[in-house]
Amino acid sequence: MLRQPPAGTEGSFRVLLDELPAPTAGGAVRIALRMSVPVFATVPGQQPVLTWRVGQDARGAYLSALNRVVAMSASSIRS
């Protein structure tokens, strides 16, 4: 079911993916997998700005991402 977000706001949705294991003989281990993927729809006139950073700490390497939305003027939206 999709609902329309209020005018002028970003829409956010989740896509659910289920992987169901095939039937197996008795005594076998079966694992069902569910993935929930966020999906975002921006508002016309706004531009997402992604900033990526790779770092390392005591636990190992990591990737950090920041998503900011910047309002654009009409002159910067032209093709």
pLDDT in tens, 17-52: 999 888 887 778 888 899 998 887 777 777 778 888
Query: Does 76 have pLDDT greater than 80?
Result: no
Task: Give me the pLDDT at residue 1, please.
Answer: 59
Query: Of 13, 10, 16, whose CA–CA distance to 69 is shortest?
Result: 10
Q: Can you give the pLDDT at residue 78?
A: 42
For residue 3, is pLDDT > 90?
no
d(CA 45, CA 74): 7
| HSE toward the beta carbon, residue 56, CA cutoff 13 A | 2
Cα–Cα distance between 16 and 12 in angstroms, integer?
Answer: 13
- Helix (H, G, I), strand (E, B), or coil: what is residue 49? strand
The amino acid that residue 59 corresponds to is: R
Q: Looking at residue 54, what is its pLDDT?
A: 93
